[in-house]
Homo-oligomer: A and B are copies of this chain.
């Protein structure tokens, strides 16, 4: 684009495209991912009870995208393990985050300035992963936009997409929720990135690759910083999603008796709380399916609360809005 060129950002874009993720950005990704795992309920206790399961979970947090995209492309999901340097680095970080004397690494990395920098660097790796997935898919499926999107998405957000199975490794089973039912903000932004990079790859999007990489990366880093600093995880796409939903998916009154139970009517003040997800596990039904305690994965961020908030009556709206803001503030600072 001429605008970017005029601003001399073209050089910056080329510089970004030429960067290597190893070792600094990869390290940041591992640190933020393992910290996100640690901040989940019961994991610290698990690390004392079963270090091996804790390590395995951490590796899934760090390399989940590569594992999932490998499975989808019928390439060995064990392949990430062959990259010994990265695995050893991730294992070392896992060890320091969980077992460092005086909890040194975690305590430092959790301080706001460090968390900001590390999370920003992690967002840079997101671009590389999505792009890597799109390129990987385009080798076998040159003309298939859908496959490129799927693989790019899996590679960038695979950790979150396989959350149920990562939790199973830890002895946790929460079938009532998953990233497809309730997409967290990192998963959404990765999907958007996968779509854009696939459109660019197939020449539908008239943008050069390194320019798109710059735009996408800057957007992610800035948004991530906003989420961490303000503590608010309001999705920048909330309005757009609401419009799309109301236009396409509200359905007719004859087929829908629960159109008011959509999470996308958050912007309207009417509506009722959605019914609990129907599943065979009645005891698990007691857990709030839209709870903000469900962790996010590789990107180490919380689900976008504003989008996911169930609809309520006006009084409940205000009360729950205040409660949710408090929840978001505390969990945003914790889990990032």
**Contact of B82 with A50 in the complex, beta carbons under 8 Å:** no
**Contact of A45 with B258 in the complex, beta carbons under 8 Å:** yes
In the bound complex, how far is the Cα of B126 from the Cα of A89, in angstroms? 32
**Contact of A98 with B52 in the complex, beta carbons under 8 Å:** no
In the bound complex, how far is the Cα of B78 from the Cα of A151, in angstroms? 9
A168 at the interface (CB under 8 A from B): yes
A261 at the interface (CB under 8 A from B): yes
Given A44-B258, A56-B180, A172-B279, output 13 extra A-B contacts at Cβ < 8 Å.
Answer: A44-B255, A44-B256, A45-B258, A48-B256, A72-B77, A78-B147, A84-B146, A99-B251, A103-B255, A168-B178, A170-B181, A170-B277, A171-B176
Leading 9 A-B pairs by shortest Cβ distance: A42-B278, A173-B175, A174-B280, A103-B255, A171-B277, A82-B144, A172-B279, A283-B283, A74-B76
Interface membership of chain A positions 178-201, coded 1 if the CB is closer than 8 angstroms to chain B and 0 otherwise = 101111000000000000000000
A320 at the interface (CB under 8 A from B): no
Least Cβ distance of A326 to chain B in Å?
23
Enumerate chain B residues within 8 angstroms of A255, measured Cβ to Cβ.
44, 98-100, 103, 106
Determine the residue in chain B with the shortest Cβ distance to A72. Answer: B78
**Contact of B256 with A81 in the complex, beta carbons under 8 Å:** no
Least Cβ distance of A75 to chain B in Å?
5
Interface residues of A in 242-267 (CB under 8 A from B): 245, 248-252, 254-259, 261-263
27 inter-chain pairs at a CB distance below 8 angstroms, sorted by A residue, are: A42-B277, A42-B278, A45-B275, A48-B259, A48-B262, A49-B262, A50-B181, A50-B182, A51-B248, A74-B74, A74-B75, A82-B144, A84-B145, A99-B249, A99-B251, A100-B255, A102-B252, A103-B252, A171-B175, A171-B176, A171-B178, A171-B278, A172-B175, A172-B280, A173-B281, A174-B280, A280-B284
In the bound complex, how far is the Cα of B52 from the Cα of A256, in angstroms? 17
Enumerate chain B residues within 8 angstroms of A180, measured Cβ to Cβ.
50, 52-53, 56, 169
Pick from B48, B70, B164, B257: contact of A74, CB under 8 Å:
B70
Given A72-B77, A73-B76 in contact, is the A168-B164 Cβ separation under 8 Å? yes
A4 at the interface (CB under 8 A from B): no
Least Cβ distance of A215 to chain B in Å?
25
**Contact of A47 with B140 in the complex, beta carbons under 8 Å:** no
A226 at the interface (CB under 8 A from B): no
Enumerate chain B residues within 8 angstroms of A259, measured Cβ to Cβ.
48
A71 at the interface (CB under 8 A from B): yes
Interface residues of A in 24-46 (CB under 8 A from B): 41-42, 44-46
Determine the residue in chain B with the shortest Cβ distance to A280. Answer: B174
Determine the residue in chain B with the shortest Cβ distance to A40. Answer: B278
Of A141, A172, A279, A287, chain B has the most CB atoms within 10 Å of the CB of A279
**Contact of A71 with B81 in the complex, beta carbons under 8 Å:** no
A282 at the interface (CB under 8 A from B): yes
A289 at the interface (CB under 8 A from B): yes
In the bound complex, how far is the Cα of B49 from the Cα of A279, in angstroms? 14
